[in-house]
Chains A and B, each alone.
Chain A
Amino acid sequence: MNWRGKALRFCEVTGLPILEPFVRLAAGEDPKEQFVGIAKFVLLPIAAMVLFIGLWSVAASKVVTDSAQLPSPSSTWAAGKQLFAMHWKQKQADRDRKIEKLKLARTLVLQAKQTEIEAASASEADKAQLLANVEVLRVKALQAANYTPASAPTFVDQIFTSVKTVFFGFAMATLIAVPLGVLCGMSSWFNAAMNPFIQLFKPVSPLAWLPLSFIVIMWMYSGSTGETYFSKSFLISAATVTMCSLWPTLVNTTLGVASVDKDYLNVAKVLKLSPLQQLTKIILPASLPLMFAGMRISLGVGWMVLIAADMLAQNPGLGKFVWDEFQNGSSMTYARIAFSVIVIGVIGLLLDRVMIFLRNLVSFGNPVAA
């Protein structure tokens, strides 16, 4: 029954107890017990969800002001469908435009070739003119071929922007926090030097950093002109995420490294492992579970802060989408906002699940319950 063990381990590591009764059922265990499990992990949550939607519908019909109404589940669902439909429609339109432009480019290239041939047989006087025309046609063709549609970002585009931003900011935070945390954990002197900063900046609301990171990014970009790899707004949002998701990882890594079991260190001493071996074979693996626990908190905080930062700084992302909707005030406004709230929640949940999965992978085969 090896596949069963593997499947159960998978359920455990991924933090998906929902699947467990199904695996056990497939393995031929007592069906009665497993149906109890299914009822608990599948049917009960569904029932709770149905109840919630029912209460929501009732509330929606009651909460009405002069100008607006709390969106009902069905109008939220409709708004969501519409948002996605708009996205596909726009993508289709963009594709059509692009194809059109490519066709244009092909015609222009053909025209240029034609003109070139004409120029070869033309008189000296006309030749310069014709060759100049060829150049113009070529430039136009290139422009048409490189055309990118510049329509306003749709809801789905905003989702991707937000996810990209949060991952970028989180990655930066991890790259800074883990080495710092390892140093802090290994040297009490370094920790003593760092501690005042950590204690001081940890409780600061990351939104307070927003104007400061704004200035720094603007300064960094002040010399450069033209195309840059990252847009300014992207970096400002990402920097805000970095500032807030730095601390949980830093603190947990420090703790993880500082609390490596003394017995493991004795083993390292007896075996005379080199400093690099001590780090890679003992200290880092031993502190990984705590490190990942910290990173999980970091990513969660980062996601929450990003939405707020986008709203505040008008940077592209889900936060801006919500704010824009709120300002626009169309008939669908509140339904769309409600739908965004659900999407933000789902993405936050998925991010958390990913981190739980990673943490369980490194937890020495004893996954911790979520």
Chain B
Amino acid sequence: MAGYVEMFRLGKTYDTKNGPVVIVEEFNLNMSQGEYICLLGHSGCGKSTVLMMAAGLNPITTGGIVVAGREIDGPGPDRGIVFQSPCLMPWMTAIENVLLGVDQVYPHGTKAQRRDIAGYYLSLVGLGASLHKRASALSQGMQQRVGIARAFALKPKMLLLDEPFGMLDSLTRMELQEILLDILRRDKVTTLMITHDVDEALFMSDRVVMMTNGPRARVGAIFNMPFERPRLRAEVLDHPEYYDYRSRMIEFLQEQDHKKLRNDIARHSSSQPAVGKELESVV
């Protein structure tokens, strides 16, 4: 069965001084329309590379990605992205930041209609009273809300979230997770999210895709989430299988850690002093 989003035999190789390094290899994933998938893995395992390839911001080495029947060949507003840092234009207000994209994809609408679109999505993320505040005057959490509004306002076919809450403290993170799920209930957008937070993956996604550690990262395991939507955090936390899934995912990640450590030690003992520093940052 062909999915709404298909990634087939996706691979990424970087040329370095010490020859080519394969970051991702044979990465296969099909997503149905409106599905929410989390890519879970340790930092540096290549999950960001997959997402940036889907965004078209990182050229694909092998394989391909098809979104809604068309193979992607570069970045475009049909795939909304929320980065880890909100990357708003600090010299623009909240609404101007959203309008930057809205003006671009709705040139056939009137000015008033475009303002309505931007204002509507900013209200959805709870910024209705801060439309005209400069981005630089907003807190990190508020800035990320603008980032979410900006992505949704373009009515993308697919949403790509690159650890969107990674820089927020865990409580603000929970708040934004609920806002995001709330909007997704209205606008069902196929979403691929990267995270290293197990609880976030459990709470948000339909399926959690665990990646093996790079180099040569690929899909390691896939978990289907049994929780019903709309999700309430208290209910999800109280679900009898929640901690089962949680511990299985954590075990998977720990297994990957041990592998990485073994690799590092193996590399460390085979002379190269540069690797020593890496090892210390792990220990």
Interface residues of A (CB under 8 A from B): 261, 263-264, 266-267, 269-273, 277, 281-282, 285-286, 288, 362, 364-366
CB distance B91 to A266 under 8 Å?
no
A-B contact sample (18 more), CB < 8 A, given A266-B81, A267-B100? A266-B57, A269-B57, A270-B76, A270-B79, A271-B101, A271-B104, A277-B104, A281-B100, A285-B89, A286-B89, A286-B91, A288-B91, A362-B91, A364-B90, A364-B91, A364-B134, A364-B136, A365-B90
Q: A266 and B136: CB pair below 8 A? A: no
Q: Taking CB as reference atom, which chain B residue is nearest A269?
A: B75
CB distance A285 to B91 under 8 Å? Answer: yes
Judged by a CB distance under 8 angstroms, whether B29 is at the interface is no
Q: Which residues of B contact A366 (CB under 8 A)?
A: 90, 136
Q: Which residues of B contact A285 (CB under 8 A)?
A: 89, 91
Using Cβ atoms and an 8 Å threshold, which residues of chain B touch A365? 90-91, 134, 136-137
Check if B87 is an interface residue, CB within 8 A of chain A. yes
- Residues of B at the A interface (CB closer than 8 Å) are 55-57, 74-77, 79-81, 83, 85, 87, 89-91, 100-101, 104-105, 134-137, 154
Nearest CB of B to A364, in Å: 4
Q: Are B83 and A266 in contact, CB atoms less than 8 angstroms apart?
A: yes
B135: chain A residues within 8 A (beta carbon): 364
Whether A272 pairs with B76 at a CB distance below 8 angstroms is yes
Instruction: Give A286 to B136 CA distance when docked, in angstroms.
Output: 13
Complex alpha-carbon distance, A362 and B75, angstroms? 30
Distance, CA A273 to CA B77, complexed state (A) = 10
Instruction: State in angstroms the CA–CA spacing of A5 and B136 once bound together.
Output: 16
Answer whether A264 and B89 are a contact pair too, CB < 8 Å, given A270-B75, A272-B76: yes
- CA A273 to CA B56, docked complex, whole Å: 15
* A270 x B90 contact (CB < 8 A): no
In the complex the two chains form, is B83's CB within 8 Å of A271's CB? no
User: CB distance B75 to A266 under 8 Å?
Assistant: yes
Assembled-state Cα–Cα distance A286/B87 (Å): 12
A263 with B90: in contact, given A270-B75, A365-B134 (CB under 8 Å)?
no
| Centre residue among A267, A285, A286 by max chain B CB count within 10 A | A267
Q: Which residues of A are found within 8 Å of B80, using beta-carbon distances?
A: 270
Q: Are B87 and A273 in contact (CB under 8 A)?
A: no
The residue in chain B whose Cβ has the minimal distance to the Cβ of A282 is B89
Which of A263, A282, A286, A364 has a CB less than 8 Å from the CB of B85? A263
A272 close to B90 (CB less than 8 A): no
Query: What residue in chain B is nearest A261 (Cβ atoms)?
Result: B87
Given the complex, which residues of A lie within 8 Å of B104, measured CB to CB?
271-273, 277
| Nearest CB in chain B: distance from A257 CB, A | 15
Instruction: Kindly list the 10 A-B residue pairs having the minimum CB-CB distance in the complex, ordered from nearest.
Output: A263-B87, A364-B90, A269-B75, A270-B75, A364-B136, A365-B136, A364-B91, A285-B91, A365-B134, A271-B101
- The distance in angstroms between the C-alpha atoms of A269 and B101, with both chains bound, is 11
Chain B residue nearest to A288 (CB atoms) is B91
> What residues of chain A lie closer than 8 Å to B56, measured between beta carbons?
269-270
Q: Bound complex: CA of A365 vs CA of B137, how far in Å?
A: 7
Bound together, the chains give a CA A270 to CA B80 distance in angstroms of: 8
Q: How far is the CA of A197 from the CA of B76 in the complex (A)?
A: 39
Q: Which of A270, A281, A288 has the most CB of B within 10 A?
A: A270
Contact assessment for B77 and A270 in the assembled complex, using a CB-CB cutoff below 8 Å: yes
Verify A271–B87 contact, CB threshold 8 A: no
User: A281 to B77, alpha carbons, bound, how many Å?
Assistant: 17
Q: How many angstroms between the C-alpha atoms of A270 and B147 in the bound complex?
A: 13
What are 22 contact pairs spanning A and B, CB under 8 A?
Answer: A263-B85, A266-B81, A266-B83, A266-B87, A267-B100, A269-B56, A269-B57, A269-B75, A270-B55, A270-B56, A270-B75, A271-B77, A271-B100, A271-B104, A272-B75, A277-B104, A282-B89, A286-B89, A364-B90, A364-B136, A365-B90, A365-B134
In the bound assembly, the distance between CA atoms of A364 and B137 in angstroms comes to: 9
Q: Which residues of A contact B101 (CB under 8 A)?
A: 271
Complex Cα spacing A270 to B151, Å: 10
> How many whole Å from A360's CB to the nearest CB in chain B?
13
CB distance from A135 to the nearest CB of B (A): 65
* Chain A, Cβ-Cβ closest to B52: A266
Most chain B CB within 10 A, of A261, A266, A285, A286, is at A266
- Known A-B contacts A272-B77, A281-B100, A366-B136; A267 and B91 likewise in contact (beta carbons under 8 Å): no
A272–B57 Cα distance when bound, in Å, is 12
Chain B hits for A362, CB < 8 A: 91
Closest beta carbon of chain B to A8's beta carbon, Å: 14
CA distance A269 to B100 in the complex (A): 12
CB closest residue in chain A, given B85: A263
Query: Please, which residue of chain B has its CB at the minimum distance from the CB of A364?
Result: B90
A362 to B91, CA, bound (A): 8
Question: Shortest beta-carbon distance, A193 to chain B, in Å?
Answer: 27
Chain B residues positioned under 8 Å from A281 (CB to CB): 89, 100
Contacts of A263 in B (CB 8 A): 83, 85, 87
In the assembled complex, how far is the CB of residue B172 from the closest CB belonging to chain A, in whole angstroms? 20
Most A C-beta atoms less than 10 A away, residue of B89, B100, B105 = B89
Beta-carbon nearest neighbor of A262 in chain B: B87
Cβ contacts under 8 Å, B55 to chain A: 270
> In whole angstroms, what is the CA distance A288 to B104 when docked?
24
Quick check: B87 and A267 within 8 Å, CB to CB? yes
